[in-house]
A and B are shown apart, each in its own frame.
Chain A
């Protein structure tokens, strides 16, 4: 393993996660797989510091995350939840809101249109997000994160609401883009195929414990 982005030591969270040792490499694609309810989403929430573990330590870039300001960390380690969050407003506002929340400068419409292409969403920037389907909302949320250019992308089932064909296309483009930018991707996925095809590293979680890592 090369440089590491995250390191977890004896992490316990409620009765959900018990991770003795886990390292997540820097600038690589890591997939997290496992049965539903095994604690995969909880792991991403811990890395985003949306929650804190009851016991143990989590390090980001060799720094204990308890000592990093949560907002500062989340601006570098951005998370996409499984249920896509869309805010009231149109697609453009929804794409830009991530930049606004993280205090980054706005970008022009050209850039926004490019991002919509990357997530294979054939919609206009002025379209209302309320009328979008689950899969379309998921892609808007994904596009929003791509615009933010974080150090680490934490994607929880980023393609769960997409059909197989769109899923393949979107994931391929995203992984390619993140690799080209030399960033880190940690992705929870239900699809073993996606995990095998696109990951440098696969972590399997079973009932809150790391079963396989490699």
Chain B
């Protein structure tokens, strides 16, 4: 198996030259996005350089403390991103449920994956712990964001249906069931779509990375299958937790809708 072609500095610079070409086109066409393109390219570069050196250090000095800290930072950042995108305050009941569902669901999946599926030793081995944790958390974050938007939106636009069901003696759970189901569907749909297109429409990033670094496609595929199932599990678990608990925040203890 050939080793991966290591990119030289000039080759990375050539990739940048490509972006500069893009910037020239954007300017000529009068599209006012050059600033955003430049900032995001520079920011991505700096972030990756920083994380690259950080990972080198952590991989050379494996420690449960470092792995846990990285996991906590990823969780906090993902929760912050969800709250920011959905404009929900952390202090609200729904905000706390988002934080709980996100961290509990993804951590359970991560440890199941590390202990049962891959069975690594030591459990905090950063080469596995960090990238797998990142994939599970990142995908769950996207799922919950979609689920929150759908749940909050429909509880408002379909309030008359929920109230109509309550008037007839439905429990809050029955009254909101169709909204909870919709929220779950919309949250899980990107994961399902990406699983359906995988291998035909595109080759997934992790598998591509492994193949580029010289792993056999068969090994890369078995990892990819396992991680996709892990992602499906993590997204499902976090979203199920969120919609089930989140739905309850719209009702008071007298089983009435909050105004």
Contacts and interface: CB of A to CB of B under 8 A. Distances in A.
Interface of A: 48-52, 66, 69-72, 74-75, 78-81, 83, 85, 87-88, 97-98, 101-103, 144-145, 148
12 contacts: A50-B167, A51-B256, A70-B255, A71-B169, A78-B168, A81-B160, A83-B160, A85-B161, A98-B168, A98-B169, A101-B169, A101-B175
B163 A144 contact: no
Nearest to A103: B169
Nearest to B164: A85
Contacts of B178: 88
Nearest to A74: B169
Interface residues of B, number: 18
Contacts of B254: 49, 52, 66, 70
A121 B239 CA distance: 43
Contacts of A48: 167
A107 B255 CA distance: 28
A160 to B, nearest CB: 16
B160 A101 contact: no
B40 interface: no
A103 B170 CA distance: 8
Interface of B: 160-161, 163-171, 174-175, 178, 254-257
B256 A49 contact: yes
A97 B175 CA distance: 11
B186 to A, nearest CB: 17
Given A83-B160, A87-B161, A101-B165, A52 B256 contact: yes
Closest 9 CB pairs of A and B: A85-B164, A75-B169, A101-B170, A102-B169, A79-B167, A70-B255, A74-B169, A101-B168, A98-B168
